[in-house]
Structure formats: C-alpha cells, structure tokens
Structure 1
Amino acid sequence: MAENQQAAGNENQNQPQFALQRIYVKDLSFESPNSPLVFQEQWKPQVNLDLNTSHNKISDNQYEVVLSLTVTAKVGEKVAYIVEIQQGGVFMISGIEGPQLGQMLGAYCPTILFPYAREAIDGIVNKGSFPALMLAPVNFDAIYAQALKRKQEEAAGEAKEEQTH
C-alpha cells in the first residue's frame, strides 16, 4: 500500500502545476507636465500604449513575471499625462518546460497581470484629475506568437547569412 501511495505521489510531481503566489506593483509613476493648462483644452486625447514583459527565475519552480506598461495621453501636441507601471507577479510553475513554459511566462502570466495594471493606471489617472481611462484588453497570446515568429525569422536570416559567407 505504501508503494501505491509513493507511486501516486510521484505521478503528481510529474503533473503540470501552476499557481499564482503574489501580485504586486513593482514601480509606478505619473506625470502631468502640462497641468493645469491642459485642463482648459477640449478633452479628446490620443492615447498611446507601449507594453513589454520580462521574467526571471527566482528558484526551481518560482518565476517573477513583470508586465511593463507606458500610457501617454496627448491633447493636440501637449502631453496631458504619462503613466508608467511595472506590475509584477510571482508564479509557481512546475512540470512545464520548453515552448509551453515560454508560452506561460510570455503570454499566460501577463494576461493574469494585465487587469491589475489596468486598474492601477485608471486609479492614478483619476487621481490626476483626468477622466477615467479603461484600457482595452490585450491579446498576449497573439503578441507572444508574433514575437516568436519574428525571432524564428531572424534566426533563419542569420543562418542564411552564415551559409553565404
């Protein structure tokens, strides 16, 4: 019977496991360089969103994933505000390797972090006396797939260059 329990325990260790352990704001900044004059303008902002993700291995099965967002809102040529946030998360991931691990760290984890970053951005924009900003959802799977394709194309281009020399 002890052998059966040990075998079952070994099977569970080989099963893919994923757990969110912590979500936190790593860095947050807000600038409104043209206040208070920008409040006199008609509010029809052009909003630009830049995003990036990164990850670090903390321990055997722990990873930190950081979603970095920069939101710039302009009214005409004037910058109304700039918000920068690094939304971090610690994830326990085991039994997942290779491309699946890359997908988890590059797409799945940022998808979990995004609503928290969006809420923090909306709150700080509101505290800056600007109308609420609700960022549209982001398809991190598509972004990850594009980045992967770009890396593969670059690698193929480099391999082709080496063959011609």
Structure 2
Amino acid sequence: MAETGNGAQAEAPQIKMQILAQFIKDLSFENAVAQKGVEGEVQPDIQVQVNLDAKKRGVDNQYEVISKFNITSKNKSGGEPLFLLELEYGGIFQIENVPEDQLHPFLLIECPRMLFPYVRRIVSDVTRDGGFPPLNLENIDFLALYRSELSRRAESEQPQGTA
C-alpha cells in the first residue's frame, strides 16, 4: 500500500508558489474635474480594463507577472471625463512543480489573483487621495478573463473570408 501512495506522489508533486516581491511599475492619476471642472450633477460611469503579461526571469523557476489596469470615470450625463487611473502592478514569483502545459494559465490566473488585493487597495487609496470617493474594485474573474483572451486570439488567427 505504501508503494501506491509513493507512486501517486511521484505523479503529482506538490505545487509551490511564493511571492518574492511585488511593486508598482507605473502609476498615473489624472483628476480632470480639478483641471477643467464639471457643471451640473455628477454621476460617474466607471470602466475598468485589465491586461496581463508574464515572462520568465533569468533565475530558474522565477517569473514576473504584470497586471495593467486602465480605469476611466466619465460623467453619465455629459460624458466629460472625471478621472483616469493607469496602474501597472508587478509581482516576482517562485513557482515549482507546475506542468509545462499548465504554466501559462497558472501565471495569468493564479498569480494575478494573489496580487489583486494589493491592487484594490492602491486604487482605493489613489482615488480617495485624488479627491474622489475611494473606488473599491469588484473582484475580477481571472479565469474568465484568460478564457476570453484565448478565444479572442483564436478568432483573430482564423483566415478572413472564404471565397
């Protein structure tokens, strides 16, 4: 019976993930209200765009994952901009025992999920410090984001129009 247990462990080694560092790579906040002003009632319409990137580092089993957030707020009534927040937040990860065919989704789903609470806090602090109510980002489904990016790429790679 011990052999069965050892055989199962040999087939599926324990996945190890450690965040070695996290950092703001780039941050920009523009308060359009303070610069130009807005007349009438303000009802913000907030749009959040997320892009992810991952790359291998020079050290074995180390990867850098960057989450890029572009957050715009416009007034619903007139469409004039209220603020623009751009944030690139990175993490350095030590990842071991993830099968090669599962590494890409692991880097673009699990790693951003681990960093997201820190991103949410930064966005909240920056919007509050910029003169607006703190923006508490909704949870992001990184699995759905990954799947939609895969399907978008598959569609763009298909030949255009057949005769």
- TM-score category (smaller protein): 0.7 to 0.9
Aligned residues: 150
Q: Residue 79 in 1 paired to residue 81 in 2? A: yes
Give matches, 1:43-54, under 5 Å. Answer: 43-54=42-53
Runs of 5+ unmatched residues, structure 2: 1-9
Q: Where does residue 65 of structure 1 map in the other structure? A: 65
Q: Where does residue 145 of structure 1 map in the other structure? A: 147
What is the distance in 2 between the residues matched to 1:55 and 1:125? Answer: 27
- Contact 1:34–1:78 under 8 Å retained in 2: no
What is the distance in 2 between the residues matched to 1:15 and 1:116? Answer: 26
Q: Where does residue 7 of structure 1 map in the other structure? A: none
- Cα shift readout 1:9-59 (whole Å, capped 9, x = no counterpart): xx6xx6432111112111111001331554654231000111100012112
Q: 1:154 to 1:72 in 2, by over 3 A?
A: closer
Tell me, what secondary structure is at the counterpart of 1:80?
strand
- Give 2:83's aligned amino acid: Y
What is the distance in 1 between the residues matched to 2:122 and 2:20? Answer: 19
What is the distance in 1 between the residues matched to 2:41 and 2:24? Answer: 32
Q: Please tell me the root mean square deviation across aligned C-alpha atoms, in Å.
A: 2.6
Give the percent of matched residue pairs that are identical in Structure 1 and Structure 2. 31
TM-score, normalised by the number of residues in structure 2: 0.80
Give matches, 1:111-130, under 5 Å. Answer: 111-130=113-132
Mean Cα deviation higher: 75-84 or 92-101: 92-101
What is the distance in 2 between the residues matched to 1:99 and 1:147? Answer: 17
TM-score, normalised by the number of residues in structure 1: 0.79
Mean Cα deviation higher: 40-49 or 76-85: 40-49
Tell me, what secondary structure is at the counterpart of 1:26?
strand
Q: Where does residue 100 of structure 1 map in the other structure? A: 102
What is the distance in 2 between the residues matched to 1:147 and 1:108? Answer: 16
Q: 1:51 to 1:21 in 2, by over 3 A?
A: same
